[in-house]
């Protein structure tokens, strides 16, 4: 048994020794010799007090006296003298060895070399001191054990004022109970690492000034219990930057949402990231419905998808901006013409992150432009017609008179035929000139109380022979007791003559002509439908334009429907047309009853 004890004693990595009550060294192991640099023989000739530096002997004597008096082991830290004169930090566990009578017979010591631990502690202290963040260590009671100079600068305290004090002194008074709860929670759940992140926390300086901070907490387990190393960062500048950034964002949001222009922000794949209120109002889609979807999948008509993608690819490839126009299809299918100005936002390397598109709805603007151009053409036509009536009308009348005179006096049939042709063409020229004058110098309607149903009947009577000859059947659906209106009878007859004439030309092989008249709220609705050859869209959209005609040369002036539209609009009404190729055409005229009557009353007054 004795042999086993000696083997264990000798093999221990900790230095072990035994001394008499007068501290003469009686026994040491190899680790003790290696620690001090003395051989065993040398140590056995020494007193334990010989290994203690002079300045530490008083402390060591008190520890020895305490152990002998109480009989309880004591652990303490001290320096040992080595044979080469250097000192080594050690931790000594000292306890008394007692005899059978219970009295101390000697002192035993277990000695551990603290050099590495001290070195690690010093490195830790240097790292903490050099940290750009405030660093402090507290125990489980919240007592401050360590601070660096950044903590001194952050809070305005000297280091000596903080060590040994409660960490509560660094927390505003109003938050101390809340902070204590956080600390208790941390020690209960030591896996938490960043209790201060994601939530507003504040520190209190020595002068009472508060500032926002962020705390990172890390648990450290030591033989003395749990410690907490906390990193503290003053985030005042960050908070100010965040507030300034949020203010800018709020400003940008307000501008984008109140702007009349459409603003769309796309990522580099063409997906929608921002869709302002003007976009919502124009398209009928909400932001939630379009977010993250490709713009060409929602709004672009098929014919323009390839072009839009090509523009987007050029922008994504680095082209700084691009302007173009296209149609946008709304949620209800309605098309709006949009003029776009596009620009890109790129990172520092030049890689495009976003495409910002600002658009203006020019649908109505284009319509206004077209109306203005048409008005200008009409004004020019009026001037031209007036001059032509004077310059051409007078010689035409002379030619017509001479041709009629010669026709009455010649007996030559060939001559008569030629003169008849001259008379017919002059009459046609005169008719065109009269239509030009009617169109260009349209007089204000001479309104009287008229029965529109009666006008329809009278106008059809004029065409009775031609309708029968062209094998055209007539259907009438004229509602009884429709109100009379105040209108220019002659002008409305002119409207019906032009429309019926067009229908006759559209049904050269015969067909069906249907006229209807009824009341629709505050309007009279006059409809005229035929089963003729109809019109394609490109023709239908131009039929009211001056001089536009589909008839062969010499068979139409292109002014008839222009005059019709002008008369209806001067009566405060509207005219619309629907047409299907090989199915027929329908004209719908709405004349406001109250508006017409009010105008008449004003005129009569």
Q: Tens of pLDDT along 455-485?
A: 888 888 878 888 888 899 999 998 888 898 8
Question: Quick one: average pLDDT of 474-502?
Answer: 88
Angle at 443 between CA 439 and CA 445, to 5 degrees: 115
Structure tokens at 90: 């050690």
314 close to 306: Cβ distance less than 8 angstroms:
no
| Candidate from 256-260, 329-333, 550-554 with smallest mean pLDDT | 550-554
Closest C-alpha to 64, from 51, 55, 73: 73
Q: Please, what's the largest Cα pairwise distance for the chain? A: 179
Q: Which residue has the higher pLDDT, 330 or 600?
A: 330
pLDDT of residue 80: 92
Place of tokens 């010989």: 50
Q: How far apart, in whole angstroms, are the C-alpha atoms of residue 348 and residue 329? A: 36
Task: Answer whether 106's CB lies under 8 Å from 89's CB.
Answer: no
Regarding predicted confidence, which is higher, 400 or 286? 286
pLDDT 10s digits, 21-60? 889 999 999 999 999 999 999 999 999 999 999 988 898 8
The CA distance from 256 to 278, in Å, is: 9
Kindly report the number of other CB atoms within 10 A of residue 568's CB atom.
20
User: Is the predicted pLDDT of residue 602 greater than 60, yes or no?
Assistant: no
Residue 368 pLDDT exceeds 90: no
- Is pLDDT above 50 for 288? yes
Q: For residue 200, what are its two tokens?
A: 């507003």
Percent of the chain with pLDDT over 70: 83
Q: Helix axis angle, 413-440 relative to 560-570, nearest 10°? A: 30
Residue 554: pLDDT band (50, 70, 90) is very low
Q: Where are the alpha helices (DSSP H) in 159-275?
A: 159-162, 176-188, 236-258
Helix axes 489-506, 560-570, angle to 10 degrees: 140
Question: Could you tell me the end-to-end alpha-carbon distance of the chain, in angstroms, rounded to an integer?
Answer: 142
- The b-or-e profile of 357-393 (16+ CB within 10 A means b, else e) is bbbbbebeeeeeeeeeeeeeeeeebbeebeebbeeee
44: nearest Cα among 59, 29, 64: 29
What percent of the chain clears pLDDT 90, i.e. is strictly above it? 21
Model confidence pLDDT, tens digit, residues 505-544 = 899 999 999 999 999 888 999 999 999 999 898 888 888 8
For residue 598, what pLDDT is reported? Answer: 41
pLDDT of residue 553: 42
- CB of 515 within 8 A of CB of 475? yes
DSSP 449: E
The 3-state DSSP class for residue 8 equals: helix
Place of tokens 């007036």: 386
Interval 118-123 mean pLDDT: 78
Average pLDDT over residues 66-89: 90
Strand, coil or helix: 577: strand
- Alpha-carbon span 419 to 512, nearest angstrom: 38
> Can you give the pLDDT at residue 604?
45
Residue 339 in tokens: 């003029």
The whole-number average pLDDT for the span 236-240 is 88
Q: Mean pLDDT for the chain?
A: 82
C-alpha to C-alpha distance for 183 and 187, rounded to whole angstroms: 6
Lowest-pLDDT choice from 70-84, 270-284, 399-413, 418-432: 418-432
Query: Which residue reads 């004597």 in tokens?
Result: 61
Q: Which residues contact 584 (CB under 8 A, 6 or more apart)?
A: 506, 511, 529, 530, 531, 532, 534
Contact call for residues 145 and 175 (beta carbons, < 8 A): no
Of the two residues 323 and 259, the one the predictor is more confident about is 323
DSSP, res 225: E
Helix-strand-coil percent breakdown of the chain, rounded to 5?
45, 30, 25
Name the pLDDT band for 587 (thresholds 50, 70, 90).
very high
Mean pLDDT: which of 41-55, 255-269, 378-392 is highest?
Answer: 41-55
What span, in angstroms and rounded, lies between the C-alpha atoms of 571 and 450?
A: 13
Q: Token digits for 556?
A: 């139409």
Residue 82 to residue 52: CA distance in whole angstroms: 10
Give the pLDDT mean for 104-112: 90
Q: How far is CA 420 from the centre of its chain?
A: 76
State the pLDDT at residue 603: 42
Question: In the structure, what pLDDT confidence band is assigned to residue 121 with cuts at 50, 70 and 90?
Answer: confident
**In the numeric block, which tokens belong to residue 195?**
């209790």
Residues 353, 315: Cα–Cα separation, whole Å: 10
Inform me whether the pLDDT recorded for 362 exceeds 90. no
Q: How far apart are CA 595 and CA 605, in angstroms?
A: 15
Give CA–CA dist 307/48, Å, rounded: 96
Looking at residue 589, its pLDDT comes to 94
pLDDT in tens, 290-316: 899 988 888 888 888 888 888 888 888
Q: How far apart are CA 595 and CA 570, in angstroms?
A: 11
pLDDT for res 547 = 63
């Amino acid at each position: 048994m004795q042999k086993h004890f000696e083997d264990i004693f000798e093999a221990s990595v900790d230095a072990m020794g035994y001394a008499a009550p007068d501290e003469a060294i009686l026994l040491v192991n190899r680790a003790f010799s290696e620690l001090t640099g003395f051989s065993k023989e040398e140590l056995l000739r020494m007193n334990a007090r010989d290994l203690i530096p002079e300045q530490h002997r008083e402390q060591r004597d008190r520890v020895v006296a305490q152990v002998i008096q109480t009989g309880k082991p004591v652990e303490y830290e001290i320096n040992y003298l080595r044979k080469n004169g250097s000192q080594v930090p050690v931790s000594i566990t000292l306890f008394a060895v007692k005899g059978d009578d219970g009295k101390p017979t000697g002192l035993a010591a277990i000695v551990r070399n603290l050099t590495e631990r001290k070195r690690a502690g010093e490195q830790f202290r240097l790292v903490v001191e050099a940290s750009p963040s405030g660093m402090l260590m507290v125990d489980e009671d919240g007592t401050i054990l360590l601070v660096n100079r950044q903590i001194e600068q952050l809070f305005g305290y000297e280091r000596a004022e903080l060590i040994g004090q409660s960490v509560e002194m660094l927390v505003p008074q109003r938050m101390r109970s809340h902070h204590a709860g956080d600390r208790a929670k941390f020690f209960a759940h030591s896996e938490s690492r960043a209790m201060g992140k994601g939530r507003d926390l504040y520190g209190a300086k020595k002068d009472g000034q508060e500032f926002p901070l962020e705390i990172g907490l890390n648990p450290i387990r030591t033989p003395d219990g749990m410690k907490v190393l906390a990193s503290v960062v003053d985030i005042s500048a960050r908070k100010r930057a965040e507030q300034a950034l949020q203010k800018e964002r709020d400003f940008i949001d307000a501008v984008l949402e109140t702007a009349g222009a459409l603003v769309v922000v796309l990522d580099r794949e063409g997906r929608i990231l921002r869709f302002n209120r003007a976009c919502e109002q124009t398209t009928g889609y909400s932001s939630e419905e379009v977010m993250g979807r490709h713009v060409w999948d929602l709004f672009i008509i098929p014919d323009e998808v390839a072009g839009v993608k090509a523009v987007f690819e050029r922008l994504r490839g680095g082209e700084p901006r691009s302007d173009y126009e296209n149609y946008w299809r709304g949620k209800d299918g309605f098309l709006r013409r949009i003029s776009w100005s596009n620009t890109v936002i790129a990172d520092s390397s030049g890689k495009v992150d976003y495409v910002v598109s600002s658009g203006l709805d020019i649908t109505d603007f284009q319509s206004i432009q077209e109306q203005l151009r048409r008005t200008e053409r009409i004004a020019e036509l009026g001037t031209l017609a007036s001059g032509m009536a004077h310059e051409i009308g007078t010689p035409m009348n002379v030619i017509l008179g001479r041709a009629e005179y010669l026709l009455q006096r010649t007996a030559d049939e060939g001559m008569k035929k030629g003169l008849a042709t001259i008379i017919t063409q002059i009459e046609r020229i005169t008719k065109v000139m009269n239509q030009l004058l009617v169109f260009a110098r349209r007089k204000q309607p001479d309104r009287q109380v008229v029965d529109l149903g009666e006008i329809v009947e009278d106008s059809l009577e004029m065409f009775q022979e031609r309708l029968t000859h062209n094998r055209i059947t007539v259907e009438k659906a004229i509602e009884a007791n429709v109100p009379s209106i105040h209108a220019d009878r002659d002008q409305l007859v002119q409207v019906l003559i032009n429309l019926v004439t067009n229908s006759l030309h559209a049904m050269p092989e015969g067909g069906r002509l249907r006229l209807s008249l009824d009341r629709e709220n505050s309007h009279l609705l006059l409809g005229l439908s035929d089963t003729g050859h109809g019109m394609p869209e490109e023709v239908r959209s131009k039929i009211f334009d001056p001089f536009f005609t589909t008839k062969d040369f010499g068979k139409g002036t292109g002014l008839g429907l222009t005059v019709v539209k002008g008369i209806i609009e001067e009566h405060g009404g509207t005219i619309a047309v629907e047409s299907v190729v090989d199915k027929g055409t329908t004209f719908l005229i709405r004349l406001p009853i109250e508006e017409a009557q009010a105008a008449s009353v004003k005129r009569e007054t």
